[in-house]
Amino acid sequence: MKILVIGGGGREHALVWKIAQSPLVEKIYCAPGNPGIASLAECVNIAVDDLDELLRFSLEKGIGLTVVGPELPLTLGIVDRFQEAGLWIFGADRLAAQIEGSKSFSKDLMAKYGVPTAAYGTFTEYEPAVEFIRRNGAPIVVKADGLAAGKGVVVARTEEEAIAAVGSCLKEGAFGEAGSTVVIEEFLEGEEASFLAFTDGERVLPLASAQDHKPVFDGDQGPNTGGMGAYSPAPVVTSALHDRIVDEVMRPTIEGMAKEGRPFKGILYAGLMIKGEEIKVLEFNARFGDPEAQPLLMRMKSDLVPVLVACARGNLSGVTLEWHEKAAVCVVMASGGYPGSFQKGYAISGLDKAAEMEDVVVFHAGTAEKDGWIVNNGGRVLGVTAIGETVGAAIERVYRGVDAISWEGAHFRTDIGRKAMNR
């Protein structure tokens, strides 16, 4: 089978790495890919939002399955286009992808079908949003309604900070159309976890638990990012909580989407806040998490390809997943200044040294090739990922990998996985 993976980040590198291990695969293409992916797949220079060209390429090459990595092509309707052309594709169609593409849609869906989430209000005008903030006080959370590359969420510690975030969206247009509506939510305390499940629109096949680290600095300080690291399993998700998340969050959401005429096929990712026995959904995503995909796919024992095909064909019946008992940890190495402005084009050294380490894989995210060197070409540059007998062993191993790699201005968190150790 020929497979096309769409995307060029760390998540897509991890997907290609895992897909390449399947005996069912004859050849892998990746659009647009990156220098790390190029060692496993043929990279083709097609942008993720160029649906016409992606479709033309797939038909020309006889692609047996397309796997969509990022959210943008899903919300643009790539799945609908490919299905209309008779091609198998893994991912949510345009209507189903609204669960990520619009936070107000997602919140209204949860309210309607009894999925536990934070109290909220939705606003398109500045004054009523400010009144809501004044009435509810701080801390409070302000979210741009649409896609903002993981940066459209402000956890405001003061009312002034929240009002400034609303002004940035509704008055200054900081996120364009994505910020023309804002969702304002109560602030939830607890520990965050990521819960992902494959679904064929009816059945739910959960993955192992994981935990992401959004803020840029150690101790969960600083602005939110697309994710600075992740680990799996997440001890906060006990086996009892795991079952409850499936029954109280994932199933009602999949059933609700079907009732709304938006059957969801692909991978549904719930960002959760867990406090004691209380579970609340922070957000839904319609694709693999990045960086959660990296440790999850390293821990997955099963062949990924049959699962992707079963979801695409709408029948997960009889499909199961096996996991390595080991733990995996991913540390994101970012460009200096990220998530703000940063310089590109610095040569990265130490990649070969890290690649030689046992049970360490360096997934490329924002890299490019220049004058024979791999250089930084994005905010999140690398996802160094390691597997170990315990979370502690994986942490020790992953940071040995991180310490081998350097470029000017590179920064990373030094506490990824510490919450798991504290448990």
* In a domain? residue 99: no
pTM for the model stands at: 0.94
Q: 414 with 303, same domain?
A: no
Q: How confident is the model at residue 422 (pLDDT cuts 50, 70, 90)?
A: confident
- CATH number, domain of 137, equals 3.30.1490.20
* In a domain? residue 147: yes
Q: 230 with 128, same domain?
A: no
116: tokens are 């536990």
The answer on pLDDT for 149 being more than 80 is: no
Q: For 32-81, write each residue's pLDDT tens digit.
A: 999 999 999 999 999 999 999 999 999 999 999 999 999 999 999 999 99
* In a domain? residue 139: yes
* In a domain? residue 320: no
Question: What percentage of the chain exceeds 90 in pLDDT?
Answer: 93
Position 105 scores a pLDDT of: 96
Query: Distance between CA atoms of 141 and 186, rounded to whole angstroms?
Result: 6
Q: For 320-369, write each residue's pLDDT tens digit.
A: 999 999 999 999 999 999 999 999 999 999 999 999 999 999 999 999 99
321: tokens are 């997943």
Q: 299 with 339, same domain?
A: no
Q: For 239-271, write each residue's pLDDT tens digit.
A: 999 999 999 999 999 999 999 999 999 999 999
* In a domain? residue 103: no
Q: 260 with 278, same domain?
A: yes
Q: 294 with 338, same domain?
A: no
Query: Distance between CA atoms of 282 and 270, rounded to whole angstroms?
Result: 8
What is the mean pLDDT of the segment spanning 174-203? 94
Rg (CA), the chain: 20
* In a domain? residue 114: no
Position 224 scores a pLDDT of: 84
Mean pLDDT of the chain: 96
Burial class, 393, CB count within 10 angstroms (exposed 0-12 / middle 13-18 / buried 19+): middle
CB 13 within 8 A of CB 34: yes
Q: 411 with 366, same domain?
A: yes
Question: What percentage of the chain exceeds 70 in pLDDT?
Answer: 100
CB-CB neighbours of 111 under 10 Å: 12
The domain boundary, picked from 186, 202, 230, lies at 186
The answer on pLDDT for 212 being more than 70 is: yes
* In a domain? residue 218: yes
SS3 letters for 328-360? EEEEEEECCCCCCCCCCCCECECHHHHHCCCCE
Domain extent at residue 70: 2-93
Position 419 scores a pLDDT of: 86
Query: Whose CA is closest to 13, among 378, 287, 374, 383?
Result: 383
Q: For 166-176, write each residue's pLDDT tens digit.
A: 999 999 888 98
* In a domain? residue 152: yes
Q: 174 with 200, same domain?
A: no
What is the mean pLDDT of the segment spanning 295-300? 98
What is the mean pLDDT of the segment spanning 194-206? 97
Q: 67 with 36, same domain?
A: yes
- CATH number, domain of 364, equals 3.90.600.10
The domain boundary, picked from 283, 313, 343, lies at 313
H/E run at residue 153: strand 153-156
Give CA separation, 19 vs 15, 316, 326, in Å: 6, 18, 20
| DSSP string for 89-141 | EES--TTTTHHHH-HHHHHHHHHHHT--B--EEEESSHHHHHHHHHHH-SSEE
Q: For 4-30, write each residue's pLDDT tens digit.
A: 999 999 999 999 999 999 999 999 999
The answer on pLDDT for 90 being more than 90 is: yes
Query: Distance between CA atoms of 330 and 352, rounded to whole angstroms?
Result: 18
- CATH number, domain of 269, equals 3.30.470.20
Q: 275 with 345, same domain?
A: no
Q: 199 with 239, same domain?
A: yes
What is the mean pLDDT of the segment spanning 382-397? 97
Task: Name the residue with tokens 């209000």.
Answer: 121
Q: 154 with 256, same domain?
A: no
Q: 346 with 382, same domain?
A: yes
Contact residues for 13 (Cβ-Cβ < 8 A; gap 6+): 34, 36, 37, 363, 364, 365, 383
The answer on pLDDT for 423 being more than 90 is: no
The domain boundary, picked from 281, 313, 345, lies at 313
Number of domains in the chain: 4
C-alpha atoms less than 13 angstroms from C-alpha of 74 in its C-beta half-sphere: 29
Contact residues for 22 (Cβ-Cβ < 8 A; gap 6+): 303, 304, 305
Position 268 scores a pLDDT of: 98
Helix axes 103-113, 251-259, angle to 10 degrees: 100
Position 123 scores a pLDDT of: 96
Q: How confident is the model at residue 150 (pLDDT cuts 50, 70, 90)?
A: low
